[in-house]
Structure 1
């Protein structure tokens, strides 16, 4: 699981806070009818564990700690779909479907085990929900395992095309939770080539296209940007792919190709370079390009002036500190502006739309804590800090 081995495997837990009490209501302290799920992965000397905390609102508060969280052993993951909470096994290739009670309990577990299909990890960075009766669980670059989220049963497979190594570099799929896009009955899966350490990489990527109605492969799209691992879609149906944070480090230290955003035209199934991050972000490399509405995007940019780049021996050591800032990007003017309302951070941000509003999950120093922001009106520098979360916060959902 590269997102954690690159960023947090050597991190120890700095300390755990506690939730603010909501007061009143049932014994859990939850009030009203709305329920939100906050998930984070905490790294300690003993390993990694996942924690799920249920809130009744996203009102600002100092901290969402672990005192009221449910712990799942290993680097377990969660997803919320159609009102159910799905939890992946941190130590087994399983997905468990839960019902959330009004007092915040996860009950009525239904387990689907993928081990018989050769899968070793069923986390949601491998999975794409397509409909209430269909999801694709990626099994390396061999196939998608098709399963039914309603009945919790495996229903078939979709073979991926054979993708060869390139000059000793290995093809690897983008993480499904942040890179795969489903649009008009087709699934778009980026693939890029890396060495074993995800450092050296090819100058380009590809996008595999599948028909999710017939469960068949359509074609490969050549995408002229390296390390594509984040996907987003605008209102016109154009899909954009960008790299994850490691691309900044490899471009600056190993002098791989500069980070850029690929624009995929879903009508012609072709891709072009939308822009290079350095051309719009004051010379900085970037990642994590995400559409927030009204022709506006956000992304994160790495400020190389904040590190000792001249003495950097490898690409990933420099990117994990508080050297990243969030930027706005305007598609019409093709200009970017730095957001001062979001603090300097460690990159590797996640974006979730809740109640029609974009939220940013921003990791702090060493990925031992994160901060949730409400971004507000697209294109403005008016983010509101909501609360801190213990651990690396990658998931925020409204359950109901």
Structure 2
């Protein structure tokens, strides 16, 4: 499983308070509804199994639900009465390549390992608390180094917490004082890139609470994963507001501005235009000769928030100003929450980008997931009462998947 984006709110990792309407495939959603719902139940050991995480909230409480299902296809039954319920905004953590998954508690910085029993029920195993290490709340992000090492980015504490998913032990922390910027959250990237024993992740600096501004620079942290020390910290002033990196089939990694950065630039609260930097497959620093202004790809439209599209391609979201409402007090995250962002596919190998006409305009910060090499997003109903998976990279074009009550914020294959 990879990545969580937000709907009508600041970047991933913040709590959800409002819902947004996401209609990615327009008529496809209504036309694709099955006349008869097929009943699908978790099957015997040996068949596929997936964990789907959802969240339901109202004015008084938030509850999270973890469902075990045999398929992600349309018509699969998702029964809340059969789900594991956890109070608060719990998170699904998974290292699919290692066959490991767990849950981040919704009300404390605790990570618990889970497995499936013979009846495909979720079984809680060992747990670790990050509270003794200064962590106040969990983010969705973990950087996996090996079966015995992962880093949890504690953005508020400006540190990495080193922990072992196999033994479920915390091994220490890596302070990151150089990433501090007064008045700004150091938003460590939602993904990391490994170059041998060196792990790389970006840093963007966001203030969406006081002044709704973003610093016009991007940091790149290099960690020696053998000694758990900072090798280097670079700052690049060509591009700001980067939160995501995507590694291509070529091995090159692209660090691309968030749509939030695009919105801030549109509101004149970020100096640099939305853009992309690159780390070549054999390198561990930004390519000094490479920067792409995303507007040059999208006919001048503000763009950002990359999603893998297969091989050497990325999906981008580009703002259609004709669909956008902006007032004097509009916040950047209120722009990313509007159904005004069109989908583009950027082939980084050829440098060409094309509009994806079969996808209707949507909010920019929608959830997306990488499940066994298949890329999904969601169609989310008003007030998050229901979510439907959409497989973006399906053969023949976007395809509807299962529907869940509430806001679908995590998916992973567990068998």
Same fold (TM over 0.5): yes
The alpha carbon displacement at 1:217 in A equals 0.8
Q: Is the 8 A contact 1:88 1:122 kept in 2?
A: yes
More strand per residue: 1
Kindly indicate whether residue 25 of structure 2 is the aligned counterpart of residue 8 of structure 1. no
Relative distance call for 1:68 and 1:347 in structure 2 (3 A) is farther
Superposition pairs of residues 99-178 of structure 1, within 5 angstroms: 99-125=115-141, 127-140=142-155, 141-165=157-181, 169-175=183-189, 178=190
Match status 1:331 vs 2:343: no
Deviation sequence 1:181-235 (CA, Å, 0-9, x none):
3342222221122325272112121111111122111112333211111111112
Q: 1:251 to 1:62 in 2, by over 3 A?
A: farther
1:295-314 equivalent positions in 2, closer than 5 A: 295-309=312-326, 313-314=330-331
CA distance in 1, matches of 2:160, 2:12: 23
Which runs of 5 or more structure 1 residues have no equivalent in the other structure?
14-18
Tell me how far apart the structure 2 counterparts of residues 384 and 288 of structure 1 sit (CA, whole Å): 21
Q: Is the 8 A contact 1:253 1:312 kept in 2?
A: no
- Partner of residue 263, structure 2: 249
1:120-145 deviation line (CA, Å, top 9, x unaligned)? 113433x2222111111223353222
Q: Deviations over 1:283-318 (max 9, x none)?
A: 222222133333222122222220223656332223
Asked whether the equivalents of residues 370 and 388 of structure 1 are also in contact (C-alpha less than 8 Å), the reply is yes
After TM superposition, the structure 1 = structure 2 runs for residues 62-101 of structure 1, keeping only pairs within 5 Å, are 64=78, 66-81=80-95, 82-101=98-117
Q: How does 1:188-227 map to 2 (within 5 A)?
A: 188-195=200-207, 197=209, 199-223=212-236, 224-227=238-241
RMSD: 3.0
> When the two structures are superposed, what TM-score results if normalisation uses the length of structure 1?
0.85
Structure 2 distance, partners of 1:7, 1:117, is: 22
Q: Structure with the greater relative contact order (CA < 8 A, sep ≥ 6): 1 or 2? A: 2
Do structure 1's residue 229 and structure 2's residue 239 form an aligned pair?
no
Q: Which moves more between the two structures, 197-206 or 341-350?
A: 341-350
Equivalent residue, structure 1, for 2:406: 391
Q: Give the Cα separation in 2 of the matches to 1:393 and 1:225.
A: 31
Distance 2:20 2:390 in 1: 24
**Is this contact kept in 1: 2:336–2:365, CA < 8 A?**
no
